[in-house]
Amino acid sequence: MRKNIVLPVWLIALAALTACVPPLPVGEGTGVRTSTPAAVTDTFFSGQALLDANSNGQIDPEDAPIPGATFIVTLPGGAEFGAQTDESGKAFLTIPARVEYPVTARMEAPKDSGLIIVEPSAISLKEPTGETIQFLFGQQ
């Protein structure tokens, strides 16, 4: 009776172990794995809102950061991600998973601030740059 139980248990264990191993993609008839799946990583964006202190339309060292502005990144297909700027006028976005390009980045003035965007109104990114995008605002 003992031998009858051992064989089915062994077969069940073998079937369970082999079912857990996914098949490998193979090259054209070689039986060798030829590609590695692309890693899916988060994508990071940052923007900074600045007040044009001397109204010259250019970003200068004396331009003050604007807290409370909204940095927005729009993906192809229309999905939007946004974040508020901090005391340094910077906002950071982490978009989960891989991002298709081009994307559009823009900054909106804080509500009821009376500020208007000077430049750029929006920027199209064709690839990740790793740089903080600066947006200049002026008084209305």
Looking at residue 78, which CATH number applies to its domain? 2.60.40.10
Task: Dump the DSSP string for 39-62.
Answer: PP--EEEEEEEEE-TT-SSS--TT
Give me the pLDDT at residue 12, please. 58
Per-residue pLDDT at 27 exceeds 70? no
Mean pLDDT of the chain: 82
Helix then strand count (H, E) for the chain reads 1, 9
Task: Tell me if 73 is assigned to some domain.
Answer: yes
Q: Which position has the higher pLDDT, 10 or 55?
A: 55
Please choose, from the candidates 40, 36, 46, the residue with its C-alpha nearest in 3D space to the C-alpha of residue 128. Answer: 46
Residue 70 contacts residue 114 (beta carbons within 8 Å): no
Task: Tell me if 65 is assigned to some domain.
Answer: yes
Phi, psi of 3 (to 5 degrees): -65, -35
Task: Tell me if 5 is assigned to some domain.
Answer: no
pLDDT band for position 91 (cuts 50, 70, 90): very high
Q: Domain count of the chain?
A: 1
Q: How far is it, in rounded angstroms, from Cα 3 to Cα 126?
A: 67
Task: Tell me if 11 is assigned to some domain.
Answer: no
Rounded mean pLDDT of 103-128? 93
Give me the pLDDT at residue 94, please. 87
- pTM (2 decimals)? 0.69
Task: Tell me if 77 is assigned to some domain.
Answer: yes
Task: Tell me if 2 is assigned to some domain.
Answer: no
Please give the residue range of the domain that contains residue 112.
43-139
Q: Above pLDDT 90, what percent of the chain?
A: 57
Give me the pLDDT at residue 109, please. 97
Task: Tell me if 37 is assigned to some domain.
Answer: no
Q: How far is it, in rounded angstroms, from Cα 121 to Cα 94?
A: 22
